[in-house]
């Protein structure tokens, strides 16, 4: 039989097939082959023996949260407590784009800002919209409710950004724990593996407890560059065909930063990423 893994609790995989749930183990063979079945995987499984036999090809996966075949990531981005981090947002967008997952940005905690701080954040929000991102504010519940249908969605973002709170507001029956910050910092000791795709808005969604470990690990500097989406609008005007927009002369990206067309913080973060934060 073929089904989809929708839940993993310690070593028990819940496979959904034909509207029925089967709790299966992973075969020892997988460990040898270095394949770990992940939540989101489509698998062949033995109905009688309750074993996963084969993982069908994936289109992508993330290490944390360990989920495969992700359609989109909602990057939940707090503007206060924790403070807005353009660096983290740009990093997550870059990595998500690289993994062929659609990023969606959701800003939270705008209610905590003073009026002039709010103005500044609204300008930033408008920039991300202008370069093509789908952007929401967490009180736009009716709009956000519509994005999940027939998709696997992962919520990611800093601890305390408001991921679980937003999910509970979208569907109160989810009943997720909030304010898990201290627990997330003490990760590792008694944490039981628990990853779950929850039903939401006609699709599946996974929450990330604590901070997710999305990073540049297998990206080259060119990959980092190529996934800064707005750079691709101008790079053909750089003098050097493979311009890194760094120390090269006659670089159109640098020109557009100086003109105020490309957001300076985006460019500065890009330089940080290619120089050290890999």
> Measuring CA to CA, which residue among 208, 266, 211, 206 is closest to residue 233?
266
Per CB under 5 A, does 274 bind Zn ion?
A: no
Please count the other Cβ atoms lying within 10 Å of the Cβ belonging to residue 147.
21
Shorter beta-carbon distance to Mg ion: residue 7 or 245 = 7
Shorter beta-carbon distance to ligand GDP: residue 26 or 159 = 159
Per CB under 6 A, does 20 bind ligand GDP?
A: no
Helix (H, G, I), strand (E, B) or coil at 21: strand
Binding partner selected for residue 160 from Zn ion, Mg ion, ligand GDP, none, CB under the kind-specific 5 to 8 Å limit: ligand GDP
Choose one: 37-45, 130-138, 157-165, 225-233; the region binding Mg ion (CB under 5 A).
157-165
Closest approach, Cβ 44 to ligand GDP, in A, equals 34
Per CB under 6 A, does 85 bind ligand GDP?
A: no
Give the relative orientation of helices 86-98 and 264-275 as an angle to the nearest 10 degrees.
70
Per CB under 6 A, does 140 bind ligand GDP?
A: no
| Contact call for residues 64 and 212 (beta carbons, < 8 A) | yes
Tell me the residue nearest to ligand GDP as measured from the CB.
162
How many chain residues bind Mg ion (CB under 5 A)? 2
| Contact call for residues 27 and 37 (beta carbons, < 8 A) | no
Integer Cα distance of 140 and 199 in angstroms: 20
Q: What is the DSSP letter of 227?
A: T
Per CB under 6 A, does 178 bind ligand GDP?
A: yes
Instruction: Supply the DSSP string of 66-95, one letter for each residue.
Output: TEES--EEEEEEESTTTTP-HHHHHHHHHH
Q: Cis before residue 152, ω within 30 degrees of 0?
A: no
Shorter beta-carbon distance to Zn ion: residue 219 or 253 = 253
Binding to ligand GDP in span 238-267, by CB under 6 A: none
Q: Cis before residue 65, ω within 30 degrees of 0?
A: yes
Per CB under 5 A, does 212 bind Mg ion?
A: no
Among 161, 170, 219, 262, binds ligand GDP (CB under 6 A): 161
Closest approach, Cβ 139 to ligand GDP, in A, equals 7
Choose one: 42-50, 56-64, 163-171, 269-277; the region binding ligand GDP (CB under 6 A).
163-171
Per CB under 5 A, does 225 bind Zn ion?
A: no
Please give the structure tokens belonging to residue 130. Answer: 């202008």
Per CB under 5 A, does 164 bind Mg ion?
A: yes
Closest approach, Cβ 227 to Zn ion, in A, equals 15
Integer Cα distance of 154 and 73 in angstroms: 5
Integer Cα distance of 8 and 69 in angstroms: 15
Per CB under 5 A, does 144 bind Zn ion?
A: no
Integer Cα distance of 84 and 161 in angstroms: 9
| Contact call for residues 68 and 56 (beta carbons, < 8 A) | no
Per CB under 5 A, does 251 bind Zn ion?
A: yes
Shorter beta-carbon distance to ligand GDP: residue 131 or 183 = 183
Footprint of Mg ion (CB under 5 A): 163-164
Footprint of ligand GDP (CB under 6 A): 76, 108-109, 111-112, 138, 157, 159-165, 178-180
């Amino acid at each position: 039989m073929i089904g989809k893994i929708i839940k993993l609790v310690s070593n028990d995989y819940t496979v959904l097939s034909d509207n029925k749930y089967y709790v299966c183990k992973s075969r020892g063979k997988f460990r040898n082959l270095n394949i770990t079945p992940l939540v989101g995987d489509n698998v062949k499984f033995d109905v009688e023996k309750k074993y996963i036999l084969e993982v069908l090809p994936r289109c992508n996966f993330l290490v944390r949260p360990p989920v495969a075949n992700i359609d989109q990531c909602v990057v939940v981005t707090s503007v206060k407590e924790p403070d807005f981090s353009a660096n983290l947002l740009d990093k997550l967008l870059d990595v998500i784009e690289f993994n062929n997952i659609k990023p969606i940005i959701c800003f939270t905690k705008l209610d905590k800002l003073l009026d002039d701080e709010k103005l500044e954040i609204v300008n930033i929000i408008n920039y991300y919209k202008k370069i093509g991102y789908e952007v929401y504010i967490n009180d736009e519940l009716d709009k956000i409710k519509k994005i999940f249908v027939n998709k696997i969605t992962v919520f990611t973002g800093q601890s305390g950004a408001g991921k679980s709170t937003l999910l509970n507001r979208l569907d109160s029956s989810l009943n997720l724990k909030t304010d898990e910050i201290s627990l997330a910092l003490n990760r590792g000791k008694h944490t039981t593996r628990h990853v779950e795709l929850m039903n939401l808005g006609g699709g599946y969604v996974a929450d990330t407890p604590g901070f997710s470990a999305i990073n540049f690990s297998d990206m080259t500097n060119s990959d980092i560059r190529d996934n800064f989406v707005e750079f691709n609008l101008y790079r053909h005007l750089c003098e050097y065909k493979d311009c890194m927009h760094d120390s090269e002369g006659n670089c159109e990206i640098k020109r557009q930063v100086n003109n105020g067309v490309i957001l300076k913080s985006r460019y500065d973060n890009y330089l940080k990423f290619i120089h050290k934060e890999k």
